[in-house]
Amino acid sequence: MTLIRSWLPAANDAACPFPLNNLPCGVFSVAGGAPRCCTAIGDKVLDVAALAAAGLVAVPPGTFDAPAWNAFMAHGPALWASFRAELTALLGEGSDSEAAVAQHLVPLAEAALHMPMTVAEYTDFYASKHHAMNVGTMFRGAENALPPNWLSIPIGYNGRASSVVVSGTEVRRPWGQVKGPDDALPRFAPSARFDIELELGAIVGQPSSGPVTVAEAGAMIFGYVLLNDWSARDIQAWEYQPLGPFQAKATATTISPWIVTAAALEPFRVAIPPREREILPYLEEALPGLYDIALEVGLTPEGGEETVISRTNYCEMYFSAAQQLAHHTTSGCSMRVGDLLGSGTISGPEKGNRGSLLELSWGGKEPLDLPGGLTRSFIADNDTLTLRGATKGDGYTIGFGEARGKVIPALEHPYER
Amino acid sequence: MTLIRSWLPAANDAACPFPLNNLPCGVFSVAGGAPRCCTAIGDKVLDVAALAAAGLVAVPPGTFDAPAWNAFMAHGPALWASFRAELTALLGEGSDSEAAVAQHLVPLAEAALHMPMTVAEYTDFYASKHHAMNVGTMFRGAENALPPNWLSIPIGYNGRASSVVVSGTEVRRPWGQVKGPDDALPRFAPSARFDIELELGAIVGQPSSGPVTVAEAGAMIFGYVLLNDWSARDIQAWEYQPLGPFQAKATATTISPWIVTAAALEPFRVAIPPREREILPYLEEALPGLYDIALEVGLTPEGGEETVISRTNYCEMYFSAAQQLAHHTTSGCSMRVGDLLGSGTISGPEKGNRGSLLELSWGGKEPLDLPGGLTRSFIADNDTLTLRGATKGDGYTIGFGEARGKVIPALEHPYER
């Protein structure tokens, strides 16, 4: 796949995250105005709600009435494809609509970006083998690192949709029940082991009732976002047996403001690494199920400079989003437009590829060195954590933007108002 | 508290589940018409949407536009109280509005009942000590029955809101990954250990952002429903480590069509049984946190007669709904109008008080005897399971109606259409 050239020069730069090949879905506002659906092109935001109102693109009435892509997604894959084709024609080199379209462009630098969709429900998975091995080794020893079911099931659990926030939202360090190994009883205290999880989130764009195949599940996925599933490791350690993580994962989950569509990622499919155990037929996938998406995490202390603490790739997963979604429906569970599926923390084989501080600092035993003599085992107050992701085509880049969050200090008392 | 007499004779019968003291919130339709918000009184349904349209009750415009109580709940406790007072006056003995109100009554027997609200998110807890002891003893032995955190934390996990259905909805036996203790690998098969969980569901009627106290949480709870959290024990056993139940609990959760308000239950408060371990101050509760609600489960084989297989009481809980909700917010997790919180399976001290077949049949080792020489360890195809609940005042009953579901056979192949 090569660059599709636009009449917007900035969109043709090989390093620009938003060439015509991307056309991600977002929601923007300017100067405190009402939020509206948009895409990004070059260094601009394109107001697609205005474009539809002007009759420049054909979408059913009401599609962009709300500042969220849910209604658009609900219309289904035929509209997804025709809309993408229309935008490509309008913004492409040689378009005769340049003047009409240009009226609806806003500099990206002037746009505030909001949640791109309403999250219906949020599910998080645990499907990177390096991550599962690292965490399992720390908690259960190397021999018992992988749970017996791990190679057979895309392990998942339901998260809390109300806690999903867009990049830039501050995240307050949570309070919770914590108990040290030598404490007789738990204490109620701010989390001292607050952490990130570097993930990709898949967005369900079509509903289902009853079980769906992996191929059907793949066709239901509208696109992907960067996702940071903030995790309080000390709260998690005490609460998670026997029914899984709960308050440890409910403070916030930060996503990027741009949904990169499955259509834009299609040229970047890569196969899942070889399996050690045969999977059940219902999970078999005909297409290469992953994408080559380079991911990184930057940590910036208050007033300091950023250090990239992790670099990994979505191709490290052991189960694809389509497999996870198919598994999600086996019980007959209905899926809804706007469901968000976290991939699970994405770690690679090397230390520098680990997708959480828990792994990077090996549970706090090997703190990370940062510039200026600083060290980190977990997140310190006022640190900013930034996830980035991009894939590279021939002379172009498909970017996700950022999933950024600053961790502000815990409330002095959790019930202060 | 004594009976509040109504001009509807049926509402004054001591055995009637819907006296004027109750006034539960539901949604009904007749003869295929549009669903509308209603209450139940005696042997009638009262169309409160019509009552509001006729100006007989004062609610903000639009409150009953949708067939769900979410908008009403969102208006808050002052409206909850004034609306209840208005209905009590309109329906009470000596009301001068009898003729005007009577126009909006429909025989309960002619009404189809629907979901009373839109479920925002669904959380399930694990807070009956007898249940936790029974399950723990089966799985980990009597010495390790209670997890170390159990006496300190209202253990909860997020469930799947899209799977919540109203009483009467058929429940299809799910497929899933199962693995016997002697199998080398899992199989994909219909669940052979499909089960009920007898619970009470608390409905959050006011939103929150940031942690709330137990007292604040109590004031946020609008009312309660019966709740059956259908559970596939064989799927759960293989999938639940390390992140908790997922597909085992996602087939369906059945609730009663009536929300019994916290106001109606107020006279029936009872204290939580004595604690073995002091709880943390943030969980302390000033009011008696439970209610005296008698609960039972009936099992009816296809074409056979019903056997009541369990009788228990909500006062058996170890943590109240207010404590569970307060704990739910400790991390800063936002709560929304329409959030549903399952109490956890409610078991009492005796064998006949157990709230699941897993416990009643002790993991299948002690099958239940039913009339006609039938036995059950778990649910058989075409069995109907019915939860009922009621509390008794002086000469009156507050009933919840039923949470009923028939389990229909699994699909022959899960991907047949």
Looking at the predicted structure, is the pLDDT value of residue A417 above 80? no
Is the separation of the CB atoms in A306 and A404 below 8 Å?
no
Looking at the predicted structure, is the pLDDT value of residue B416 above 70? no
By Cβ distance, the residue of B149, B176, B328 closest to A238 is: B149
Active-site residue list of B: 131
Residues in chain B: 417
Looking at the predicted structure, is the pLDDT value of residue A50 above 60? yes
Please give the model's pTM, rounded to 2 decimal places: 0.98
How close, in Å, is residue A50 to chain B by CA atoms? Answer: 29
State percent of chain A over pLDDT 70: 100
Specify which residues A369 forms β-bridges with. A375
B183-226 pLDDT per residue, tens: 999 999 999 999 999 999 999 999 999 999 999 999 999 999 99
How close, in Å, is residue A387 to chain B by CA atoms? Answer: 22
**Contacts of residue B99, Cβ cutoff 8 Å, sequence gap at least 6:** none
How close, in Å, is residue B416 to chain A by CA atoms? Answer: 9
Q: Which residue of B has its CA nearest to A145?
A: B242
Q: Where are the domains of chain B?
A: 9-113, 122-408
| Mean pLDDT lowest among A33-42, A93-102, B135-144 | B135-144
Q: What number is the average pLDDT over the span A85-100?
A: 97
By Cβ distance, the residue of A179, A187, A331 closest to B174 is: A331
pLDDT confidence of residue B32: 87
pLDDT confidence of residue B415: 87
B4-31 pLDDT per residue, tens: 999 999 999 999 999 999 999 999 999 9
Chain B residues whose beta carbon lies within 8 Å of the beta carbon of residue A241? 147-149
Beta-sheet pairing, B253-255 with B36-41:
unpaired
Local confidence band at B139 (pLDDT 50, 70, 90 cut-offs):
confident
Looking at the predicted structure, is the pLDDT value of residue A261 above 60? yes
CATH number for A122-408 (one of 3.40.50.12240, 3.40.50.300, 3.30.67.10, 3.90.850.10): it is: 3.90.850.10
By Cβ distance, the residue of A213, A278, A333 closest to B162 is: A333
Mutant choice from A236, A243, A339 vs B, greatest count of B C-beta within 10 A: A243
pLDDT confidence of residue B414: 87
Query: How many H helices and E strands in chain A?
Result: 10, 26
pLDDT confidence of residue A416: 66
B272-309 pLDDT per residue, tens: 988 999 999 999 999 999 999 999 999 999 999 999 99
State percent of chain A over pLDDT 90: 97
Q: Which residue of B has its CA nearest to A246?
A: B157
Domain B9-113 has CATH 2.30.30.230: yes
Local confidence band at B1 (pLDDT 50, 70, 90 cut-offs):
confident
Local confidence band at B319 (pLDDT 50, 70, 90 cut-offs):
very high
Q: Which residue of B has its CA nearest to A414?
A: B211
By Cβ distance, the residue of B210, B241, B280 closest to A186 is: B280
Q: Which residues of A387-415 are buried (b: 16+ CB within 10 A; e: fewer)?
A: bbbbbebeebbbbbbbbbbbbeebbeebe
Chain A residues whose beta carbon lies within 8 Å of the beta carbon of residue B179? 149
pLDDT confidence of residue B273: 87
Cα distances (Å, whole numbers) of residue A307 to A29, A155, B312:
31, 32, 58
- Are the beta carbons of A330 and B152 separated by less than 8 Å? no
- Could you give the count of Cα atoms lying within 13 Å of A350 in the half-sphere of its Cβ? 7
Q: What number is the average pLDDT over the span B308-323?
A: 98
Chain B residues whose beta carbon lies within 8 Å of the beta carbon of residue A332? 163, 172, 174, 250-252
Looking at the predicted structure, is the pLDDT value of residue A383 above 80? yes
**Contacts of residue B182, Cβ cutoff 8 Å, sequence gap at least 6:** none
Looking at the predicted structure, is the pLDDT value of residue B354 above 90? yes
Q: What tokens appear for B285 in the block?
A: 């509760």
Specify which residues A223 forms β-bridges with. A203, A261
- Are the beta carbons of A158 and B246 separated by less than 8 Å? yes
- Are the beta carbons of A252 and B332 separated by less than 8 Å? yes
How close, in Å, is residue B279 to chain A by CA atoms? Answer: 9
**Contacts of residue A131, Cβ cutoff 8 Å, sequence gap at least 6:** A344, A345, A346, A347, A354, A355, A356, A359
Q: What is the DSSP string of B134-174?
A: HHHHHHH-GGG-S-TTTTTS--EEE--GGGEEETT--EEPP
C-alpha span between B188 and B178 (Å, rounded) = 6
ipTM (interface predicted TM): 0.97
Looking at the predicted structure, is the pLDDT value of residue A386 above 70? yes
Q: Which helix (H) or strand (E) holds A237?
A: helix A233-239
Chain A residues whose beta carbon lies within 8 Å of the beta carbon of residue B163? 332-334
Looking at the predicted structure, is the pLDDT value of residue B417 above 80? no
Q: Dihedrals φ, ψ of B234, to 5°?
A: -75, -40
Closest CA to B351 of B73, B133, B123: B133
- Are the beta carbons of A244 and B175 separated by less than 8 Å? no
Q: What number is the average pLDDT over the span A165-170?
A: 98
Chain A residues whose beta carbon lies within 8 Å of the beta carbon of residue B240? 242-244
B57-84 pLDDT per residue, tens: 999 999 999 999 999 999 999 999 999 9
Looking at the predicted structure, is the pLDDT value of residue A25 above 60? yes
Q: Can you say how many angstroms the Cα of residue B155 is from the centroid of all Cα atoms in its chain?
A: 18
C-alpha span between A252 and A307 (Å, rounded) = 23
